[in-house]
Chains A and B, each alone.
Chain A
Amino acid sequence: GAGVSQSPSNKVTEKGKDVELRCDPISGHTALYWYRQRLGQGLEFLIYFQGNSAPDKSGLPSDRFSAERTGESVSTLTIQRTQQEDSAVYLCASSLVGGRAGRNEQFFGPGTRLTVL
C-alpha cells in the first residue's frame, strides 16, 4: 500500500506569513509524529498523536506552532507568523501503534522543505 505522504513537497514563503503542512499517514496507523530537521542537524521531535488521546505537544518550539489530527487520518501542522529560523524540512511519521510495543516502527514521509525568506 501507499506510504506516508506529505504536501506540499516544497514551500517558499515570506516572513510573517502563515503556512500549513499536511501529512497523510499509512491507513490504519494510530500513531503520528511530526519532526523538524534543520540543515545539517538531526531530527527534532515536535508533536505526537495517538488515537483519540490528547497529543503530546512538548516538542513544539513556540506558540506559533500548532497541529491537528482528525481521528486516525490526516494531520496538519500550522506555523503562524513564520520566521527565518523556521526554515527546515518538516517530516511526518506514522506507526501502527505508539509506545514501547513491537509494532511501533515509524514510517517516514518524504518531508516538506520550508523556506522562509
Chain B
Amino acid sequence: AQRVTQPEKLLSVFKGAPVELKCNYSYSGSPELFWYVQYSRQRLQLLLRHISRESIKGFTADLNKGETSFHLKKPFAQEEDSAMYYCALSGAETSGSRLTFGEGTQLTVNP
C-alpha cells in the first residue's frame, strides 16, 4: 500500500521568510514524487517532480529515501505563493501513473 502524509493542513509565514511544506510517504518500492499546486480559483497543476531535480518559482524538493520524505522548500516566500499544495506519489507497481495524494497544505504568505 502507498500513503502520503502532509502533517500541516495550514501554514502561515510572512513575505520574505523561508517556507517548508512537509511531505512523508510510505511505499515499499521505488516511488516517483510530485508536488501539485492549486491557486485560488484555478485548477490543480504540477509544480515539480523529483526526477527533474529542478527549481520552479524558487521552490525545490529533494527526495530523501532514508527518511521517506519529499519536503518542499523556498528560501524567500512571496505573497503569490499563497495556495493549496499537494504532495503526490506514483508507484512503479501501480498501473499507469495513478497518483496517491496527501491531504494538502494551505500556505498563506502574509505581507
Contacts and interface: CB of A to CB of B under 8 A. Distances in A.
A99 interface: yes
Interface in A58-109: 59, 91, 95, 98-102, 104-109
Contacts of A59: 98
A45 B46 contact: no
Contacts of A109: 43
Given A42-B86, A109-B43, A111-B43, A100 B32 contact: yes
Contacts of B90: 100, 104
Given A40-B103, A42-B86, A42-B103, A108 B43 contact: yes
B63 interface: no
Interface residues of B, number: 24
Interface in A2-57: 3, 31, 33, 35, 40-45, 48, 50, 56
Interface in B60-93: 86, 88, 90, 92
Interface of B: 4, 6, 9, 32, 43-46, 49, 51, 86, 88, 90, 92, 95-104
Interface class of chain A by DSSP: loop
Contacts, number: 64
A104 B44 contact: no
Given A43-B86, A45-B98, A56-B96, 4 more contacts: A3-B43, A43-B44, A50-B96, A106-B97
A45 B99 contact: yes
Please tell me the size bucket of the interface on A.
Answer: 20 to 34
Contact of A56 (B4, B44, B95, B104): B95
A98 B92 contact: no
Contacts of A108: 43-45
Given A43-B86, A105-B46, A95 B97 contact: yes
Contacts of B96: 31, 33, 48, 50, 56, 98-99, 104
A1 B37 CA distance: 21
23 contacts: A31-B96, A31-B97, A33-B96, A33-B99, A42-B4, A43-B99, A44-B101, A48-B95, A48-B96, A50-B95, A56-B98, A91-B44, A98-B96, A99-B97, A100-B32, A100-B97, A102-B51, A104-B90, A105-B49, A106-B46, A107-B45, A109-B43, A110-B43
